[in-house]
Amino acid sequence: MTFISTFLLTGLTLIGPPDEGTWSFIGTSSGDNVLWTSPSPITAIGDNYEMLYTINAATVMVSYIGITFGPIDVIDMLPEDVIETWRATTGPAPLDFGWIEVVAPADQDPPAIAFDWIVEIDAKGYVSYRMENLFLGQSDYDLGWPWGSVTVNVESGTIDSTLSIQSVAPPCYADINGDTVVDVVDLLEAIGSWGYCFECPADINQDALVDVTDLLAIVAAWGQCPG
């Protein structure tokens, strides 16, 4: 297992940890769990946090008849809501942004790659990324001459990622139309956007799906937005 991490912010200031942090890291695994921890903390006492996780590059090493090939770029195998994932949660820390399942390609059973991941902030403000339950299967791939298109075994995977987390003012995600009031207009916006919807304002919990969960979030936030 290999980890390369680069901290992209300045360190602690005299007034304590910063309200936000951005880091880039690379994780490679052939089946083991992955754990990355930020080298410095962010504030642990915020009331609300937002996370943006972006996969910059994804490659695999594969084998065929005992010969290893790669690295092979597979980022086009990942759905757009896997390549960029936004989540929000309430503080203070310790907290997490919930487990997220990745299955790629989504229409293959069993998949070529599957894993679960979660981002957490501990009581001291240190951020961690954990990947567990990694499954490496098979995939059809064109190896070129003289093999052509064959079924290969996925032996390992490498993901180059960027993770940004910030403590934010009280949000009003349910205010879809931005008029500072959560009301029937927002409810109708959600109904009109029903179903799969990537980076859609009506997708309040940003799971790429407008459904009853988003309707319940609107009802729970009904009225004037905080501010």
For each of the domains in the chain, give its residue range(s) and CATH number, in order of start.
2-167 (no CATH), 181-224 (1.10.1330.10)
Mean pLDDT, contiguous 10-residue spans, the chain (227 residues): 38 70 97 97 97 97 96 93 93 96 93 97 98 96 90 97 96 91 92 89 88 91 88
Strand 95-96 and strand 195-196: pairing?
Answer: unpaired
Q: Can you say whether the dihedral through the CA atoms of 205, 209, 213, 217 is positive or negative?
A: positive
**C-alpha–C-alpha distance, residues 105 and 74, integer Å:** 10
Nearest to 162 by CA among 27, 10, 12: 27
Which tokens hold the place of 79?
A: 């759905």
| Structure confidence at residue 32 (pLDDT) | 97
CA distances from residue 159 to 43, 54, 71, 129 in whole angstroms, order as listed: 27, 10, 11, 12
| Structure confidence at residue 158 (pLDDT) | 97
Nearest to 77 by CA among 59, 64, 91, 90: 59
- Are 26 and 158 in contact, with CB atoms under 8 Å apart? yes
pLDDT in tens, 151-196: 999 999 999 999 999 999 998 999 999 999 999 999 999 999 999 9
**C-alpha–C-alpha distance, residues 169 and 175, integer Å:** 15
Task: Please report how many Cα atoms fall inside a 13 Å half-sphere around the Cα of residue 75, on the Cβ side.
Answer: 13
Which 3-state string (H, E, C) describes 92-135?
A: CCCEECCCEEEEECCCCCCCCEEEEEEEEECCCCCEEEEEEEEE
